[in-house]
Structure 1
Amino acid sequence: MKKPQGDSVRSAVKWISDERQDNPGTSLQKLIDQASSRFNLTPMETASLERMLKESK
C-alpha cells in the first residue's frame, strides 16, 4: 500500500485498520464513508483513500 498523504488521510487509514480488526464483518465501503465524515476528508481524499484500500485488499 502506498503511504497516504496528509494527516487526515493517515488518521483515516489507521482508524479503518483498527475498525476492520475490531469489526471484521463491516463492509469496507461503509468504513470509508464513516472515515470520510469522521476525518472531514475532501472528495479527492476520500477517492484516494478508497483506491488505496481497495488496491491493498
Structure 2
Amino acid sequence: MTTIMPQSELVRRAAAYVATELAEKGRAGLSALLDDAAMRFNLSPLDQLALERLFATRAGGSAPSQPSHDD
C-alpha cells in the first residue's frame, strides 16, 4: 500500500538528505545534489527553489535571484 505524505514532510526529508550529503562530500556538487534531492523526493519547482535558497543562505552566499515583474 502506498503512503501519502504531506509535501512539507518531503521538503524536510529532502533538506535532511542534502545536509547529510554535504557533510560527507562537501559543497562541490551542491547544484547536482539539489537536483537529485528534488527528483528523489518528488519536489515541485517551488519547493526546489526554496531548498536552493535555504542552502545558498546557509553557505553565506546570496539566494538565487527571482525574475522581477516590473511591467
Q: Fold-level match, TM-score > 0.5?
A: yes
Superposed CA offset, 1:23-47 (max 9, x none): 2264111110000000000000001
Tell me which stretches of 4 or more aligned residues in structure 1 moved more than 3 Å: none
Larger radius of gyration: 2
TM-score in terms of structure 1 length: 0.82
Structure 2 partner of 1:49: 51
Q: State the 1:55 CA deviation.
A: 0.9
Structure 2 partner of 1:23: 25
Query: Which structure is higher in helix share?
Result: 1
TM-score in terms of structure 2 length: 0.67
- Residue segments in structure 2 that go unaligned for 5+ positions in a row: 1-6, 60-71
Letter in 2 for 1:36: A
Q: Kindly tell me the number of residue pairs found equivalent between the two proteins.
A: 53
CA–CA distance in structure 1, aligned partners of residues 27 and 34 of structure 2: 14
Identity of aligned residues (%): 32
What is the CA RMSD across the aligned residues, in angstroms?
A: 1.5
